[in-house]
Structure 1
Amino acid sequence: MTPSLLFAVLASGFIYGITPGPGVLAVFGIGAARGRRAGAGFLCGHLLGDVVWCSTALIAIVGAREIGSGAFDVLGVLSGVYLFWLGMRAIRTRSRSEDAPQGAARRPFWHGVVFGLTNPKAYPVAVATFTALLASRAELLTWDMLPWLIFLSFVGGLLAYAILIGIVGARYVRTAYQRHEVLITRLCGVMFIGFAINALVHALPGLLGSKTT
């Protein structure tokens, strides 16, 4: 595994874990209501869902690559379009998302487990994020590499959650996040659009027959 591929998988897991979404909003709400320990419990439970969805996404990506470059290119285009759509939605954000969980859970860990496994956005976002960041290294992906890919994405997610645990529960952080939530969401939207462009740049030439071999 090349250093660039290693970094790309780590970055994919990190970005997937730390990007503002329902899970991040939930942990900030729980941290504000019950403190850092409860927030950490929620994230530990939520991590199970992340491992399941990231592993499933990586299996789909490696499978598409093994089937043929055409299948991976199709997946890349679909992922690019989906990320672009997510990015545009984020840029157009005006207020707090209605599906953002509110309040604190009585059992943060188990709430995190259920939340992480049942989040309908988890799998498509995982596939899109990993595909976008791994598109330029698709030729390196093999089934033998899958356990390491899953492990590295897990490490990236852990790093993201370590940062979240470090800041959750701090009053000034919660206040700043609420005050600038729309701006943060829009900046993440710009990042998603950047990933979308990256995925499309690597996938479209193959589908159009102009990709060099």
Structure 2
Amino acid sequence: MSSGNYLALFGAMLLLAIVPGPAVFAVIARSFSSGFSRGLLMIIGITLGDFVFILLALFGLSAIAEVMGTAFFILKYVSAAYLLWLGINLIRSKASSLELDASDESSFLSNLMTGLLINLGNPKAILFYIALFPAFINVNQVVAIDVLIIMGVAALAFGSVNVFYALLAVRAKKMFKSPNATSVINKTAGTMMVSTGALIAIKA
């Protein structure tokens, strides 16, 4: 693949990444309620999910996705249920302090796994890669270095946009200083998480 192909692929992914979806809303809600570090862990999990789908698409394993239909179904509802649970807890929480960055409501690993589950629970993601790659890649001539570069392109395109959204959420949170504002933050983030979980659950 030429550098021009990689650049074009990056541009296409970047444009698609800018459009918010369930993963973006989950990242925003987590960053808004619990700080950038936990939002970043969720982004890493989402990116790992992208890597799985990239490998499936590049090596013609889309048929495996069909076989894994039940697994996708389970992952989808596990991630939705977890987001609903987090959201409800936030909505019900009391405003007792201004420090939300180091909240103990979720571990770093749980945030990473939530991001991974959100992505793996969306089997349409592999269809996106299967449809996109032929326009930029000769999949019959892909070698190991190409796979690594494509993963890097995806991580840069989708990851940078998600990090931008996470930073915006953290910046918005810092504008609130009173306990009442903390309550608003919790309820807003909780509502976003519940909505995202519901969207994931009902989305075909």
Question: Which of the five TM-score ranges fits, normalised by the shorter chain?
Answer: 0.5 to 0.7
Q: 1:194 aligns with which of 192, 199, 203?
A: 199
Asked if the contact 2:87/2:190 (under 8 Å) is kept, the reply is yes
- 2:128 maps to a residue whose letter is R
Q: 1:154 aligns with which of 156, 159, 165?
A: 159
Q: Residue in 2 aligned with 1:18?
A: 28
Q: Give the alignment's TM-score, normalised by structure 2.
A: 0.58
* C-alpha distance in structure 2 between counterparts of 1:158 and 1:2, whole Å: 16
Q: Are the structure 2 counterparts of residues 161 and 85 from structure 1 closer, same or farther at C-alpha, using a change threshold of 3 Å?
A: closer
The CA RMSD over aligned residues, in Å, is 4.1
- Is 1:134 matched up with 2:125? yes
Specify every segment of 5 or more residues in structure 1 that has no aligned partner in the other structure, as ranges.
Answer: 28-42, 202-213
Q: Residue in 1 aligned with 2:113?
A: 124
* C-alpha distance in structure 2 between counterparts of 1:122 and 1:25, whole Å: 12
The total of aligned residue pairs comes to 169
Q: Are the structure 2 counterparts of residues 157 and 87 from structure 1 closer, same or farther at C-alpha, using a change threshold of 3 Å?
A: closer
Asked if the contact 2:75/2:117 (under 8 Å) is kept, the reply is yes
Q: CA deviation at 1:160?
A: 1.2
* C-alpha distance in structure 2 between counterparts of 1:168 and 1:190, whole Å: 19
* C-alpha distance in structure 2 between counterparts of 1:61 and 1:49, whole Å: 19
Q: CA deviation at 1:151?
A: 0.4
Q: Residue in 2 aligned with 1:71?
A: 64
Q: Residue in 1 aligned with 2:82?
A: 86
* C-alpha distance in structure 2 between counterparts of 1:91 and 1:50, whole Å: 15
Asked if the contact 2:86/2:190 (under 8 Å) is kept, the reply is yes
> 1:18-38 deviations in whole A, cap 9, x for unaligned?
12x3x54333xxxxxxxxxxx
Q: Are the structure 2 counterparts of residues 194 and 123 from structure 1 closer, same or farther at C-alpha, using a change threshold of 3 Å?
A: same
Q: CA deviation at 1:156?
A: 1.5
Specify every segment of 5 or more residues in structure 2 that has no aligned partner in the other structure, as ranges.
Answer: 1-8, 134-146
Q: Are the structure 2 counterparts of residues 53 and 149 from structure 1 closer, same or farther at C-alpha, using a change threshold of 3 Å?
A: same
Asked if the contact 1:54/1:126 (under 8 Å) is kept, the reply is yes
Per the alignment, in what secondary structure is the counterpart of residue 134 of structure 1? helix
